[in-house]
């Protein structure tokens, strides 16, 4: 008799896990992608305003701002969450359709988040706010950023990224971690690319 109730309980837990996976995670991932679209709009508006006011800044943004580690972290996090949304959409397709795409997205998500996205967001947030609290002019060249980039945008670019990563870890406990070779090769490649720009 007890085994009957335990089997019913485990089936209900599996049903809850499936419901959570098919409803809450896609909602979270798609809302994060929409948040990033909204954030990109405001960040690009601020950059455009900055470039219109101060032509000298064009010289420091000679490679589209790729020397700023914030942009690298933001791009990688957006790439990860877009791949999560694509994976969530592909959950509703039959298993026999697009198996290679599903495997590729799983590999991309598994290689990006634990080895690059989470560490970069934590390091970037800690570094930025330590330097910003010591002396705000350490991170800006001409003092012009302070007039154009509001404090909420700094928080969105340097604080919320850690919150989103922690929420992803909390909501998605089935994250796949890459093997040692991939886990070392992917961050080394990103750091090498960043160092060469």
For the stretch 5-38, pLDDT in tens is 334 444 555 666 666 667 888 899 999 999 999 9
* DSSP category for residue 94: -
Number of structural domains in the chain: 1
Please indicate, yes or no, if residue 71 is contained in any of the structural domains.
Answer: yes
Task: Return the ∠ at Cα 25 (arms to 74 and 43), rounded to 5°.
Answer: 25
Residue 188 structural domain:
12-196
pLDDT in tens, 142-172: 566 777 778 888 888 888 999 999 999 888 8
Domain membership of residue 41 (yes or no) is: yes
- The DSSP result for 143-189, as a single string, is S-HHHHS-HHHHHHHHTHHHHHHHHHHHH-TTPPPPPHHHHHHHHHH
Cβ–Cβ < 8 Å for 92, 160: no
User: Whole-angstrom Cα distance, residue 67 to residue 62?
Assistant: 9
Specify the pTM.
0.80
Q: Is 163 a domain residue?
A: yes
């Amino acid at each position: 008799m007890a085994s009957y109730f335990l089997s019913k309980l485990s089936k209900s837990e599996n049903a809850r896990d499936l419901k959570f996976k098919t409803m809450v995670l896609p909602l979270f991932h798609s809302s994060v992608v929409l948040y990033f679209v909204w954030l990109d709009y405001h960040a690009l508006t601020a950059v455009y305003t900055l470039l219109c006011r101060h032509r000298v800044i064009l010289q420091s943004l000679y490679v589209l701002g790729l020397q700023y580690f914030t942009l690298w972290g933001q791009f990688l996090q957006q790439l990860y969450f877009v791949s999560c949304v694509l994976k969530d959409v592909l959950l509703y397709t039959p298993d026999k359709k697009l198996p290679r795409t599903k495997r590729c997205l799983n590999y991309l998500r598994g290689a990006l988040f634990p080895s690059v996205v989470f560490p970069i967001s934590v390091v970037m947030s800690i570094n930025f706010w330590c330097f910003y609290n010591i002396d705000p002019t350490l991170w800006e060249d001409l003092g012009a950023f302070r007039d154009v980039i509001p404090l909420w945008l700094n928080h969105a670019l340097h604080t919320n990224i850690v919150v989103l990563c922690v929420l992803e870890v909390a909501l998605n406990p089935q994250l796949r971690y890459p093997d040692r070779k991939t886990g070392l090769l992917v961050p080394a490649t990103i750091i090498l690319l960043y160092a060469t720009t």
